[in-house]
Amino acid sequence: QQQLVPPPPPAPLQQQAALQASGAAPVVSSTVEQLRMANIPHTQQLSSSIQPTAQKKVEETPLDSQQPTSHTQSDVEEQVQAALKLELEEELQREKARLEEEEKEREAQRKLEAKLEEGRLEREKEQKEAAARRAKELEDLQAEIAREREEAEKRREENEKKFQEEQARIKKEREDLLKQEEEARAKKQEEDEERKALEEKECKKKEDREMADREKAAAEAAAAAEAA
C-alpha cells in the first residue's frame, strides 16, 4: 500500500468536501449497508458505532492534494476498508467476548437451576421416604395394637373359660361334699337306729330273763314253802 505524505491538515469543511469529492463518504455508507445485509448480530449497534469511527479515521487521514483525484480516491477507499475491517474485527471480538460471557452466565444459570432442581428432587425424595417410613411405622403400630388386642381378647376368653371351669369344679365339689355329708348323716342315723333297736332288743331280753328268773325263784320259793 502506498504511503501518503501528510500535508497540513485541512479544515473540517474542506476535509468533508474532499471526502465527498474523492468518494470516501459513499464508500463508508456502502460498506455499512453491506454489513446490514450480512445478517451479523447487532448490526444496528455495529453500524452506528463503526460508521462514525471509520468516518472519523478517514477525516483524520490527510489527503495529498498534489495527487490525482483517481489515485486519492483509491487510497481513501483502501484506508476506509482497512479502518472498517479493523473496527469490525474489534467489534466482532467484543461481540464474541460478550456472547461467550452470556453463554458462561447461561451455563452458570443452567448449572444453578440443575443444582436447585437436584436439591428439590432430593428433598422431595427424602420427604416421600419419610412419609413412607411414617406410614409403615403407623401401619406396624396399628398391626401391633390389633395383635395385642386380639391376644388380650384371647386371654380374656381363656381366663373366662378357666373361671367358669373352676366355678363348675367348685360347685361340683361342694355338691359332692354335701352329698357325702348327707349320706354320712343318713348312714349314721341308720346305724343309730339299728344300734338303738338292738339295744332295746337286748334290754327286753334282759328284762325277760330277769322276769323269768324272778318268776322261777318265786315258784321255787312257793314250792319250798308248800313242802315245808
223 assigned to some structural domain: no
Q: Counting Cβ atoms within 10 Å, is residue 31 exposed (0-12), middle (13-18) or buried (19+)?
A: buried
75 assigned to some structural domain: yes
- The predicted model scores a pTM of 0.34
43 assigned to some structural domain: yes
pLDDT value of position 71 = 52
pLDDT value of position 68 = 45
129 assigned to some structural domain: no
- Residue 66's alpha-carbon distances to 32, 61, 63, in angstroms, are 30, 15, 9
- Asked if 31 contacts 89 with a C-beta cutoff of 8 angstroms, the reply is no
61 assigned to some structural domain: yes
Q: What is the pLDDT of residues 10-42, one digit of tens each?
A: 444 444 444 444 444 444 445 445 545 544 444
Q: What is the pLDDT of residues 179-201, one digit of tens each?
A: 999 999 999 999 999 999 998 88
23 assigned to some structural domain: yes
76 assigned to some structural domain: yes
Averaged over successive runs of 10 residues, the pLDDT of the chain (228 residues) comes to 44 44 46 49 48 50 46 78 89 92 94 94 95 96 96 96 95 94 92 90 89 88 82
Q: Please give the residue range of the domain that contains residue 109.
A: 12-113
Q: Assign 68 to helix, strand or coil.
A: coil
pLDDT value of position 64 = 46
- Residue 130's alpha-carbon distances to 69, 79, 81, 95, 144, in angstroms, are 88, 74, 71, 51, 20
6 assigned to some structural domain: no
- Structural domain tally of the chain? 1
